[in-house]
Structure 1
Amino acid sequence: MKELKLILMGFGAVGKGVAESISIKRNNIKDKFGIDFKLVAVGDSSSSAISANGLDEKLLIETKEKKGTLDKYPEFGSNINGEAVLDKVDYDLLVEATPTNIENGEPAKSLTIKAFNAGKDVVTSNKGHLALFFSEMIEIANQNNVEFKYEASVGGAMPIINFAEKTLPSSKIFSIIGILNGTTNYILSRMTIEGSSYKNTLEESQQLGIAETDPTQDVEGIDAACKTVILANSLLGIPATYSDVEVEGISKITSEAIGLAKKEGYFIKLIAEVSKHALKVSPRLIKKNSPYAIEGTLNMATLKTDLADEVTVVGKGAGSIETASAMLTDIINIIKIKYQK
């Protein structure tokens, strides 16, 4: 049976979700594809666990949650971190799940390029290096004849990139308009239902773990703008970067504005628009009975095409297992391309 040796960089919520998903699905993937996953290294921001014979996913999660660091992993824990992890063990594919950095795309950019130049495939959930250097990343992947997948970077478990490429290859996509951030959708949904203030609703969402302690990337539209760039490049062929997106967040929206909209039969949602005419993220009025009237942390997107007209996809835009499911799908798609010939 063919082994697929994986390095996982980033062991926060998404990274732990990837490890858990591999543990859950390992036997199914063996049976269906004849591939045995072996997690040979896992790194967080300051430590790692490395073993050519493979690591135990459940023990990795337990170590991280109880000890706070991977160097406490029995026998194979170390203080090696960053790009150095990639030099310590042979591997086939890098699973990159480090935090998004919109300033310079690091460490995802350097990790990804290092893997490409070593002839390794990469699956990422990261938005930073893609929003800033999409064309460069794709060019280096192509130069090294490796696979680069990033479904999880846009909508968590909501299928959109794979959906468009595999289900709608006959259609030209003119535009994509949707809700691409689950945190802001939750906040606006709660404000609409309860009539609560932005401040109180944000605090509630932070207590529930839906919003980050520093919610800036979500509430100021930065996260959705990054996803707008990725969709523009990957599905519409627009060579955009983050600076090309017009961005306005939700922090100035009041309960009074939401109440007035509601009386007129509208909701306020943070909408991303991706087209050759506009790359924009901003609060907009949407009709109560429209496909955009989704609640909670759901994401959605409507793809306007030439042959299929409008097609709408909906899914959970956040969550460790949900996002990991998209990464595991990307890994399986690489298996189909490279190991099922």
Structure 2
Amino acid sequence: MTKPRIIIIGFGNVGRGFAKVLNMKYNLIVEKFGVSPRVVAIVDSRGAAINPRGLDLEKALYIKKSEKTVAFYPGYGKLSVTGLEVLDKVDAEILVEATPTNIVDGEPGLSFMLEAMRTGRHVITANKGPLAVAFYKLSEESKKHDVQLKFDATVGGGTPVISLAKHCLSGNQIVSIRGVLNATTNFILTKMSENHCSIEEAVKEAKEKGICEMDPTYDLNGTDTACKMVILANALLERRVTYKDLPEVDGIEKITVEDLKEARKKGCTIKLVGLADEKRLLVEPMLVPFNDKICVDNTLNAVEFKTDLAKEIVIMGHGAGPIETASKMLNDMIEIFKSQTNR
């Protein structure tokens, strides 16, 4: 039985979510795939916990919750240790990169991912920033060093948008991509429409339910959706674009209850929609008919692929939540295990 070693860098909602789902599914992974993965290091903003024999994930999660850092993990915690230091000193086959999104330069996640690949590690990430600013640099490094770069969790929360397109539509040419890809704004617009409330009231409810971050700026101004569309355009349309190539990104900050009422009179609602094809790449609020297949509510995501052979394919599913996102990171990890077994 193989025992791949894993480093987790970033232990916020997504990193902890990955630790939880790995713990939940550990026995299944062992029984079904003959693999016994070990997390040998966890890094957060204040330090790290390192044990070459493997960390107890339940203990790590408890320490993080109670002490606010894994650096106080008994016997194996170290304050002020950085992610790059861990990558340099700790042997592992896989990096799970879960640091916060930075759309300016992709850091620090971009450096972690590049260093991991240059030292022969596979990378799994839910971090949109590095891929939105340096998709092809990362892709080329993974090929150069014969490692896998897995990023399905960057788009769609728990919905397998990228993997569906890559594996199930591989014989098709994808002509265009159109979708509702931000669960937070979709929830907010749904509540504004149903309850006739202001955007401020809907944001407050989203925060209370844990659907959005305490600072939802990237959601509301369209940045999050824009990053996802850049990733999709690169991964599925081979567009070679970065976040800076979007001419303009419009969010939902100016949408009012009156706008939604007027849309309803036309048999429509308003959704924050991303669109990409051979020439266009845009994100903006759009009128969407109620009978449109991407007209989903609350925290659902929906993406429509237009293809040359299969015509229109629509996928929808839950787009918010650390467990949902971590489920795709777990799937990416299993795909790496399977590919190594088949070599």
The verdict on a shared fold, with TM-score over 0.5 as the criterion, is yes
Name 1:150's counterpart in structure 2. 151
Residue among 258, 262, 265 paired with 1:263 = 265
CA distance in 1, matches of 2:17, 2:100: 14
Name 1:166's counterpart in structure 2. 167
- Cα deviation per residue 1:236-255 (whole Å; 9 max; x = unaligned)? 00001001123100000011
For the 8 Å contact 1:184–1:270, the answer to whether it is kept is yes
For the 8 Å contact 2:186–2:300, the answer to whether it is kept is yes
Q: How does 1:1-341 map to 2 (within 5 A)?
A: 1-79=1-79, 80-245=81-246, 246-341=248-343
For the 8 Å contact 1:33–1:340, the answer to whether it is kept is no
C-alpha displacement of 1:264: 2.1
CA distance in 2, matches of 1:317, 1:195: 24
| Corresponding residue SS for 1:271 | strand
CA distance in 1, matches of 2:157, 2:204: 23
| Corresponding residue SS for 1:156 | coil
C-alpha displacement of 1:139: 0.8
C-alpha displacement of 1:277: 2.2
CA distance in 2, matches of 1:230, 1:237: 10
CA distance in 1, matches of 2:16, 2:58: 9
- Cα deviation per residue 1:218-270 (whole Å; 9 max; x = unaligned)? 00000000000000000000001001123100000011011111122111000
AA at the equivalent of 2:128:
K
AA at the equivalent of 1:169:
S
Q: Identity over aligned residues, as a percent? A: 44
AA at the equivalent of 1:59:
K
Report the TM-score, using the length of structure 1 for normalisation.
Answer: 0.98
| Corresponding residue SS for 1:109 | helix
- Cα deviation per residue 1:115-145 (whole Å; 9 max; x = unaligned)? 0110111001000010001111111111111
- Cα deviation per residue 1:166-191 (whole Å; 9 max; x = unaligned)? 11111000011001110000000101
- Cα deviation per residue 1:64-86 (whole Å; 9 max; x = unaligned)? 11111111111111111221111
AA at the equivalent of 1:205:
A
| Corresponding residue SS for 2:160 | coil
Q: Which moved more, 1:120-129 or 1:285-294?
A: 285-294
AA at the equivalent of 1:163:
L
CA distance in 2, matches of 1:110, 1:4: 22
- Cα deviation per residue 1:191-235 (whole Å; 9 max; x = unaligned)? 111111112111221222222221110000000000000000000
C-alpha RMSD of matched pairs (Å): 0.9
For the 8 Å contact 1:116–1:140, the answer to whether it is kept is yes
CA distance in 2, matches of 1:236, 1:264: 33
| Corresponding residue SS for 1:132 | helix
Alignment gaps of 5+ in structure 1: none
C-alpha displacement of 1:148: 0.5
| Corresponding residue SS for 2:240 | coil
AA at the equivalent of 2:255:
I
C-alpha displacement of 1:33: 1.0
AA at the equivalent of 1:32:
K
For the 8 Å contact 1:232–1:274, the answer to whether it is kept is yes
Report the TM-score, using the length of structure 2 for normalisation.
Answer: 0.98
| Corresponding residue SS for 1:318 | coil
AA at the equivalent of 2:188:
I
